[in-house]
Amino acid sequence: MVVPAPGAEHRAILVGCGTDVSAPPPVTATKRIRLSPGARREQLLGLGIRMLATRTLDELSVDALAEQAGISRGLLFHYFKNKQDFHRAVVQRAADDLLECTTLDLTADPVRRLTLSLECYVDYVHANYQAYIALVRGAASGDEALLRIFDQTRGALTTRIIDNLAAFGLQESPTVRLLARGWSAMVEEAVLSWVPDPQISKAELLRVLTTSLPAVLSVAAPKHRPAGTASDSSAPQAGSNGP
């Protein structure tokens, strides 16, 4: 068995990123190679992510994983408490990889920065569809740990938008944060729908997603009223005795 350098397996998946792992090469377990605990755990998580390219999280078998890693099933549980704990660790790795490969390029102008980040996001989901499905759908499974991972990931992506509000002429507010989080959810659903059925080009998808953010956030921009017009507070309310 050829064992990659510690951390190399899952880093090869990072789309940056752009590496397509839809058909991962088979790993044949011929002999067991001794690794440090940290390196072995990295290897197992990397294998788990690679195996998600061709199966769902529920289909991620610890027996098949142990065979590919060249270790016993019992040794696998030396690194993870149980199958559920392993699945959670794989989903956390997928979330970490997503955040890493979509890191904003602060040297680019705001629009280009957003486009590049979205392109990496689309590429990551395309190359790691089942891993991303595990991250998103796991939140709806009732597993509190998976829900926490999903919330933290979406929160981190939303915070990136909040940190760059000046580019859209806005300041942070509850309304803006709500809209930014809603836009993130829209992007997520749009990309998940586009990957298995790309009825529009990737370029068009990126154009729509990029231009939709300032359009959504503009709802929170303060409205400037012409001088002499009535404010909202002075407008007649429903049920009042106004003329």
Give the span between the Cα atoms of 97 and 12, in whole angstroms: 10
138 close to 230: Cβ distance less than 8 angstroms: no
Q: Is 178 in a helix, a strand, or coil?
A: helix
Residues 185, 33: Cα–Cα separation, whole Å: 43
243 residues of the chain, pLDDT tens digit each? 333 333 443 333 333 354 444 444 444 443 556 778 788 888 899 998 888 878 888 888 888 888 888 888 888 888 898 988 999 999 899 899 999 988 878 787 877 888 889 999 999 999 888 888 888 877 667 778 888 998 999 899 888 888 888 877 888 899 999 999 999 999 999 999 999 999 999 999 999 999 999 999 988 876 644 444 444 444 454 454 554
Q: What does the block give as tokens for 126?
A: 């395309």
**Domain boundary assignment for the chain:** 8-18+35-88, 91-218
Quote the pLDDT of residue 17: 53
CATH of segment(s) 8-18+35-88 = 1.10.10.60
Give CA–CA dist 177/140, Å, rounded. 22
pLDDT of residue 24: 42
- Helix, strand, or coil here: 55? coil
Residues, the chain, total?
243
Q: What is the pLDDT of residue 55?
A: 82
Which 8-state DSSP code applies to residue 176? H
CA 126 to chain centre: 12
Q: Is the pTM of this model over 0.75?
A: no
What is the structure's pLDDT at 25?
44
Question: Is there a contact between 102 and 124 (Cβ–Cβ < 8 Å)?
Answer: yes
pLDDT score for 51: 87
CB 141 within 8 A of CB 188: no
Task: Determine the CATH number of domain 91-218.
Answer: 1.10.357.10
